[in-house]
Structure 1
Amino acid sequence: MGPVAVERIHVRVEGIVQGVGFRPFVHALATRYDLAGFVGNDTGGVFVEVEGDGDRLAAFVADLSRRAPALAQVERVSTETVAPTGQPGFAIVASVTGAGRDVLISPDTATCPDCLAELSDPTDRRHGYPFTNCTNCGPRFTIVTDVPYDRRATTMAAFPLCAGCAAEYADPGDRRFHAEPVCCPACGPTLRLVTADGYAVPGDPLDVAVRWLRDGRIVAVKGLGGYHLATRADDEPAVAALRSRKRREEKPFAVLAADLPAARALVDVSPEAVPVLTGARRPVVLLPRRPDARVAASVAPDNRDLGVLLPYTPLHHLLAGRLGVPMVLTSGNASDEPIAHRDDDARERLAGIADGFLTHDRRIHVRTDDSVVRLFRGRELPVRRSRGYVPAPLTLPWPFDRPVLACGAELKNTFCLAKGRRAFVSHHVGDLENYETLRAFTDGIAHLSRLFDVRPQVVAHDLHPEYLSTKYALHRDDVDLVGVQHHHAHIASCLADNGEPGPVIGVAFDGLGYGEDGTLWGGELLAADLTGYERVGHLDAVPMPGGAAAVREPWRMAAAYLDEVYGDAVPDLAVARRNERRWPAVVALARSGTNSPRTSSVGRLFDAVSAILGLRDRVTYEGQAAVALEQRARPDERGGYRVDASGPVPLADAGRQLVRCVVDDLRAGVDPGRIAARFHDGLADAVVRAAEAVREATGLTDVALSGGVFQNVLLLDRVVRGLEGEGFRVLVHSRVPPNDGGISLGQAVVAAARHRTDGSG
């Protein structure tokens, strides 16, 4: 047998391959196959040169994808042959910077089992250390300042490695081999507890903070992406005090449970929920509350569900474990403000809310809220996509021929940057209604544009001229502007979420969106693809007496709908009696059209029915009346209303017919919980009947469901079952929210599709 032929190849690996232990993995793999060469990071991902026997090289390349680290997402592996050098050994080499950037950044990742074991091991040098991490877990996106992903390009650059951590970092056999955030008590961030007026509290910060929590105090805790406000979840006075100070009257709080058994004591955890709760992303998961759950009534008033999450940093594990009871963990802000993430800003904004601050000296570079999901048919239905998910891109079947920035909507804002086949939907920014949130929006665009080297040539925006996101877009220079109708963007986001180009029957149900006819849309049937749409059906528009006041006071929508249905012969109903002092004036306002924009919104229909049933006359947060209606619906009710939704304009009269059915049942003494269930079923049936009418007219057989109303899993289930029963193929969301948090993705793909179609540029 002759000598073994030696070959050498250059390998490029693209995807999420930095910050996930990929270079150490390549080092170990090359050593296993007895190959020589080197591996390093650059602005395009990971580069490898490897030399040895051809069969071993082939096996090595195959294993780069097949055996990649758990947190890696390998998108592409490309190779080219180069000349052998004969140099022995395999090394991790210094990162290479360059002009073009195509590298991906890993989301922040929950503490892995190995680090958790060290945390609880009294013999380990990281025992009880709140910042333990390794290549398999820890902070990533929230600490990254630049790429390539190296310690010097993170906020950990301020902490030089001690001898022990440096040895682990350089040891190919250690799981902290080239783990950029590696640290320990000797060299890493330090925890401290300070009072609201800035004085350091003596003693162990964690022990004192736990004692304060046990005593019913409120503690601001610095997490991965910002500050949280924490207090005991079983202490009614403490939770009530948090509500009062935070000015968050009724919106549910999230609850942190120490582990899965503790979560099971609070909520019914289905088998499908287990991997979501315990996985690396650790979102808040909305699950049915157990009747014996030991939580204060003020945690989630009038809500059958509870938002539960498990610890995702060592600090949260230590806090939850030592406290021994579930704790409220809610965003560190006052109502309608963005989450505080800078230490000085947190002390200023939270001083009147928190009794103390459990903080540390590792800087948070990117403000990132907790993610929130529901479950539908065993899959995640995102409500808020942020920490743990961002900035992982959505890879799409169609290219973005020109780099795109999509500015999103006004509420639940996200923005989207896109190039190649990747769409980077941002972390949750919030409602663009104040300077702080607008600043977070503009800073976020600048940061992600730099990280992913996206220099927008196209800027997509909503049609509403008063949205701050629209105004920002219109002030961008040297770009092509693309206005995208709000509900078309919703349907396009659902298509992109599913990798489908359309055409479909799009059902877009939400609160409000600017319509091309000058009214406010929100109950729409669209024949749509990525490039355009036709409005083929909708609820008839009704007045919103008082404009924005009708959103805050759902009884006004009840007055408008009842006047539409009954005119001067409105039956004697409690909603009118409760609001009798202003009822005539509001009806007159609706009839006059003054300050009463007309809307086809399904969200406003939910508001009207909620008020008619006596659930909510006024709301303290967006969507509260609709949530109350979903929560009140009796799961054992099998009846439903049947309305004619297939007229010349499909769905047009469905809202008025449903209101009449609700009133008839209410006057007959039917339980409001049964009426609420029948309303959901009736609306679902109306959607099915309307979709059938559109199918007959257009031949379309696929339906896409989007808009914030489809966060309602009761309605979503009934609509999907009804449509599938009639032979439709149904698309729903699973990667981006159906609410306005997904709008930016829809805007981006519409802008790109129009460019591909018209050949401009």
Structure 2
Amino acid sequence: MSLLLRHRFIVTGQVQGVGFRPFVYRIAAANAVTGTVNNSSQGVIIEVQGTAEQVETFGFDLTDKLPPLARVVSLHAEPTDPVADESGFTILKSTGGAGHSVLISADVATCPDCMADIATPGNRRHRYPFTNCTNCGPRYTITRSIPYDRPMTSMACFPQCPQCQAEYDDPMDRRFHAQPNACPACGPQVWLTDPAGTTLARGDEAIRMLAEALAQGRLAAVKGLGGFHLVCDAASDKAVAELRRRKHRPDKPLAVMLADLEAVRQLAVVVPAEEPWLTGIRRPIVLAAKREPLAVSPLIAPDTNFLGVMLPYTPLHHILLDTFAQAGGSEIPALVMTSGNLSSEPIALGNREALARLGELADLFLLHDRDILIRTDDSVVRVNPASGGPVLLRRARGFAPEPVFLAEPGPTVLGTGPELKCTLTLTKGDQAFPSQHIGNMANLETLAFYREILDHMQDILRVRPELIVRDLHPDYMTSALAEELGQTLDIPVIKLQHHVAHIHAVLAENKFTDPVIGLALDGTGLGEDGTIWGGECLMVDPESLEHQRLAHFSHIRLPGGEAAVRQPWRIAQAALWELGVTAPGAYPWPWLAQFEQESAFLPQMLTRGVNSPRTSSCGRLFDAVAALCGLTSAISYEGQAAILLEKAQDMTETGAYPCPLKSADPVSLNTLELVAAALDDLGQGVPVGTVARRFHLGLINGLTEMAFAFSTLLDIHHVALSGGVMQNLTLAAELPRALERAGLIPLVHRHLPPNDGCISLGQAVWGQRYLRLHE
């Protein structure tokens, strides 16, 4: 008889709620080993017993045949004492404990097997909106705590019927320990109400009634996976216009959900690199090039050549789109699916909350009784045509709460994030956990959402920070919260400049630890000299934490302060004033027809310096040129002017405006030359499309020259790119290539948005290093 060996394996990572234990059970059976497996706070603990060959083969299978959603971060194996008379392999009950090394899975799109159940008449889950298995369905949004077991989720209040319980208990069934497992007999239900909360229909009839109402042009609030959507017929100009009016969102693009990839192709030109994002398990909104003429309302995305499209990611969405098509929806059934909120507020989460907050926005409400514990918006992705890689614009559902793996471990630090596009980040060992997109910290509702997420993340990670890192700006809501938390927890709070945090974030994502030249390009961030920064060339050393402002864009004044951000014509006129142009010449200023009286007062404000702060912002430079070109004088959402300027480009143009480096102290990139050249061209009747393209190419050349000059001076060859301007597809695609042609090595964001959504990561990782240096 062969000698029996016993090994203990401790597996950490994304190994709970992803079918990992039944997978272990199956490979144990295949290798004829005995033993046990259980979820614990340490991870998944496996003990197997058999011959040396059986145990060795089991170990290979454990890493080589993982379930589709599993992700192993660490695998520790050690011999242990054999157990006498062990006759089989057993799945033990989960155990808790202090601290853990478990990653909670993000929410996952419905798998093909569950789709087949939903689509098959006679199947007991036919058209059931909450069908799922271990390979798909909700995870993060329904998880209260660790370990990920049904009592720790919002499914705890739904006892399973005998059939569901049998699936749940059978290790050979794909629904074994699928925590949200349910069916129409025992699981959550949907119903339709009016804005007063009066029930109009239940179950499948509610979905059919809703689909018919949408086909007739009505607006609805639909409870989904991480919150509510506001929904209407994407082909109806009247419905889309009314949605915009009620939501106070006059211009900002809206997302559209379609049934399948074939339908998406009828609206957009889908390139191969976009397909996996549309059809994969994450299912973000993907920005794809519009196909003209557009087969849905042009009011959906009037400012851009791109359309935000996504495929259904829950059974409810699949069923609703299918029913909408049957109800006589448009030729290409498409539904606007936008966040269920008023502008600047967090997405609505609960039924009562939605009826209270969205009552004047929606005609109908499709509700259900599975609680959403964690509100999570849809993620937004676009593909960089130069690299084929993703540029995340919003990181939320499908991505959170996945960690960013760091170059080295360290203590727990909280990065509290910025004011706009806010996230928070907690570190744990060699992992950083950025939250989902929280939004603009402009009101108490968003602050409450922030606190919810902070409490939840500390709970599920079982950590408490040793240090808090906040932005320099004293008036940010996150700054005040950081100071409050520091006092409450009795831990230090340290400030880190906004653009330095941007660069530390992109370094962390790339696990890069050498000094870099950092180009931080965005709209606003308080600088260390008290002025508003935004077009910065920095030296950043992530090891010593030294940084230096090497150069910046030409200063432009913001007459009226925040009013100038909302009315870019003010910035354009201020830039002309810096150039000595105080009145229209050969080129009439486009804004005079609407703002002639206000324009007349600007020179006095600028001369006296009254409410006219200086900024080196790259974003404000885009605003100035867009207004000068007559593309917009006032904006209704952040980045609108820059989006219009990018859209206006004539991509056949190859000329570039001059953007020289000035060697004064401090060094600056003379970006006012770009404005002067644009004015000269416009005065000579050069088309706006040509001007827009020459501006983009001139800026790319200037940034490359600046980076190369400091690379030569400092003998640093890597250039880190961050900031909201890197969402501009022209810069995202063409600036890295220009740097490479100059012999430089660009580093770009890989896991987080380049916008302010990455700031908290940079703060937290900087703080980790700070604590290590001061041990």
Regarding TM over 0.5, the answer is: yes
Whether the aligned pair in 2 keeps the contact of 1:168 and 1:176 (CA below 8 Å) is: yes
Q: Deviations over 1:219-246 (max 9, x none)?
A: 1111110000010100000000000011
Whether the aligned pair in 2 keeps the contact of 1:646 and 1:690 (CA below 8 Å) is: no
Whether the aligned pair in 1 keeps the contact of 2:506 and 2:747 (CA below 8 Å) is: yes
Local SS of the residue matching 1:616: coil
Structure 1, 589-598 or 258-267: larger mean CA deviation: 589-598
Q: Deviations over 1:540-588 (max 9, x none)?
A: 2221111111111101101110100124365342235232211121232
Aligned to 1:551: 565
Compared CA separation, residues 116 and 576, structure 1 to 2 (3 A): closer
Cα distance in 2 for residues equivalent to 1:211 and 1:651: 63
1:72 matches 2:82: no
Structure 1, 588-597 or 287-296: larger mean CA deviation: 588-597
Cα distance in 2 for residues equivalent to 1:653 and 1:735: 30
Aligned to 1:129: 128
Whether the aligned pair in 2 keeps the contact of 1:562 and 1:570 (CA below 8 Å) is: no
Compared CA separation, residues 655 and 573, structure 1 to 2 (3 A): farther
Local SS of the residue matching 1:652: strand
1:363 matches 2:340: no
The code of the aligned residue for 2:413 comes to: V
1:696 to 698, 709, 712: 712
Whether the aligned pair in 1 keeps the contact of 2:405 and 2:509 (CA below 8 Å) is: no
Compared CA separation, residues 649 and 167, structure 1 to 2 (3 A): farther
Cα distance in 2 for residues equivalent to 1:352 and 1:705: 42
Aligned to 1:622: 638
Compared CA separation, residues 569 and 239, structure 1 to 2 (3 A): closer
> Mapping of 1:198-237 within 5 angstroms?
198-202=197-201, 204-237=205-238
Aligned to 2:723: 707
Cα distance in 2 for residues equivalent to 1:505 and 1:21: 44
Local SS of the residue matching 1:265: helix
The code of the aligned residue for 1:106 comes to: S
Whether the aligned pair in 1 keeps the contact of 2:591 and 2:630 (CA below 8 Å) is: no
Aligned to 2:158: 159
Cα distance in 2 for residues equivalent to 1:453 and 1:102: 10
Local SS of the residue matching 2:396: coil
Compared CA separation, residues 576 and 354, structure 1 to 2 (3 A): closer
Cα distance in 1 for residues equivalent to 2:572 and 2:612: 14
The code of the aligned residue for 1:230 comes to: V
Local SS of the residue matching 2:579: helix
Cα distance in 2 for residues equivalent to 1:91 and 1:67: 20
Whether the aligned pair in 2 keeps the contact of 1:720 and 1:730 (CA below 8 Å) is: yes
Whether the aligned pair in 1 keeps the contact of 2:284 and 2:398 (CA below 8 Å) is: yes
Offset, 1:642: 2.5
Whether the aligned pair in 2 keeps the contact of 1:220 and 1:229 (CA below 8 Å) is: yes
Offset, 1:294: 1.0
Cα distance in 2 for residues equivalent to 1:511 and 1:348: 35
Offset, 1:304: 0.6
Aligned to 1:637: 653
Aligned to 1:737: 753
How many residues matched?
A: 756
Cα distance in 2 for residues equivalent to 1:751 and 1:302: 40
Local SS of the residue matching 2:155: helix
Cα distance in 2 for residues equivalent to 1:631 and 1:532: 39
Aligned to 2:475: 466
Aligned to 2:433: 424
Q: Deviations over 1:649-685 (max 9, x none)?
A: 6872522100001001111111101111110000000
Compared CA separation, residues 58 and 603, structure 1 to 2 (3 A): same
Cα distance in 2 for residues equivalent to 1:643 and 1:255: 39
Q: Deviations over 1:722-750 (max 9, x none)?
A: 11111100111120000000000011111
Stretches of 4+ aligned residues off by more than 4 angstroms: none
Offset, 1:121: 0.6
1:378 to 373, 388, 395: 388
Cα distance in 1 for residues equivalent to 2:11 and 2:66: 11
Cα distance in 2 for residues equivalent to 1:734 and 1:76: 22
Q: Deviations over 1:301-344 (max 9, x none)?
A: 13110000000000001111222211100000011111001111
Cα distance in 2 for residues equivalent to 1:562 and 1:225: 47
Whether the aligned pair in 2 keeps the contact of 1:258 and 1:321 (CA below 8 Å) is: yes
| Structure 2 unmatched runs, 5+ | 326-332
Offset, 1:499: 1.3
The code of the aligned residue for 2:39 comes to: N
1:48 matches 2:59: no
The code of the aligned residue for 2:393 comes to: V
The code of the aligned residue for 2:33 comes to: L
Cα distance in 2 for residues equivalent to 1:218 and 1:734: 37
Cα distance in 1 for residues equivalent to 2:317 and 2:454: 30
2:400 to 390, 394, 411: 390
1:667 to 680, 683, 688: 683
Q: Deviations over 1:696-728 (max 9, x none)?
A: 221111101100000001122221121111110
Cα distance in 2 for residues equivalent to 1:72 and 1:362: 25
Cα distance in 2 for residues equivalent to 1:82 and 1:652: 65
1:433 matches 2:448: no
Offset, 1:278: 0.5
TM-score using structure 1 length: 0.98
Aligned to 1:304: 305
The code of the aligned residue for 2:250 comes to: E
Whether the aligned pair in 1 keeps the contact of 2:669 and 2:706 (CA below 8 Å) is: no
Cα distance in 2 for residues equivalent to 1:67 and 1:309: 30
1:538 matches 2:546: no
Offset, 1:137: 0.2
Cα distance in 1 for residues equivalent to 2:49 and 2:30: 13
TM-score using structure 2 length: 0.96
RMSD: 1.2
Cα distance in 2 for residues equivalent to 1:588 and 1:321: 61
Cα distance in 2 for residues equivalent to 1:592 and 1:614: 27
Offset, 1:67: 1.1
Aligned to 1:321: 322
Cα distance in 2 for residues equivalent to 1:372 and 1:366: 18
Local SS of the residue matching 2:657: coil
Cα distance in 1 for residues equivalent to 2:32 and 2:115: 33
The code of the aligned residue for 2:356 comes to: E
Aligned to 1:99: 98
Cα distance in 1 for residues equivalent to 2:666 and 2:710: 7
1:350 matches 2:355: no
Cα distance in 2 for residues equivalent to 1:545 and 1:619: 16
The code of the aligned residue for 2:722 comes to: S
Offset, 1:55: 1.6
1:265 matches 2:266: yes
Whether the aligned pair in 2 keeps the contact of 1:538 and 1:649 (CA below 8 Å) is: no
Aligned to 2:22: 24
Whether the aligned pair in 1 keeps the contact of 2:626 and 2:641 (CA below 8 Å) is: yes
Cα distance in 2 for residues equivalent to 1:729 and 1:59: 43
Local SS of the residue matching 2:321: helix
Q: Deviations over 1:9-52 (max 9, x none)?
A: 11100001011110111111111111111111111221111111
Cα distance in 2 for residues equivalent to 1:271 and 1:567: 48
Cα distance in 2 for residues equivalent to 1:257 and 1:372: 16
Aligned to 1:484: 496
1:686 matches 2:702: yes
Compared CA separation, residues 230 and 332, structure 1 to 2 (3 A): same
Structure 1, 10-19 or 713-722: larger mean CA deviation: 713-722
The code of the aligned residue for 1:359 comes to: L
Offset, 1:643: 2.5
Offset, 1:99: 1.6
Whether the aligned pair in 1 keeps the contact of 2:659 and 2:671 (CA below 8 Å) is: no
Whether the aligned pair in 2 keeps the contact of 1:545 and 1:587 (CA below 8 Å) is: no
